[in-house]
Amino acid sequence: MKKLQFTIKKSLSEVERVRVELEQFYVDNGLKDKAIYELELILEELLSNIINYGFVDRKFQPIILNVGLNNKNVVLSVKDKGKPFNPLELEDPDVSGSVKDRKIGGLGIFMLKKLSDNVKYEYKQKSNVTTILKKIR
């Protein structure tokens, strides 16, 4: 399995830097456009959630991202010291209502779950560890 690790500081440019590097990594390893798009979407939703909400009540600490890739899967593992947040416990939003009824929010984690083949969450050593597996073949 090929592996990469990133340390992400609290800035949106950092999220972009990681995305650009990862995109090249995915392309170099022959991933198809659709898989790359979906992996980028999954990661952006996960990171933006942590950056926007994880540290509202505490000092920001860098997020650690581990990426693993083999012939069949990509595994994204994100570790952050933000407040405990289990994405699996978040209720799915209603995606059928009218403009008036639809709530703004909750779509990111919903898409993350939809696009992942497996989502695992653990809270250990005062950190959220969210691990996502996505099949690429």
- Which is nearer to other proteins, 41 or 75 (by Cβ)? 41
Element spanning 46, H or E: helix 33-49
> What tokens appear for 42 in the block?
């999954």
Q: How many residues bind other proteins (CB under 8 A)?
A: 29
- Indicate the burial class of 72 (C-beta count within 10 angstroms; 0-12, 13-18, 19 or more): exposed
Among 10, 44, 77, 133, binds other proteins (CB under 8 A): 44
Q: Does 16 bind other proteins (CB under 8 A)?
A: yes
Among 6, 25, 40, 60, indicate the residue that binds other proteins (CB under 8 A).
40
Question: Of residues 102-121, which lie at the interface with other proteins (CB under 8 A)?
Answer: 102, 104-105, 107-108, 110-111, 114-115
Side-chain-side CA neighbours of residue 40 (13 Å): 20
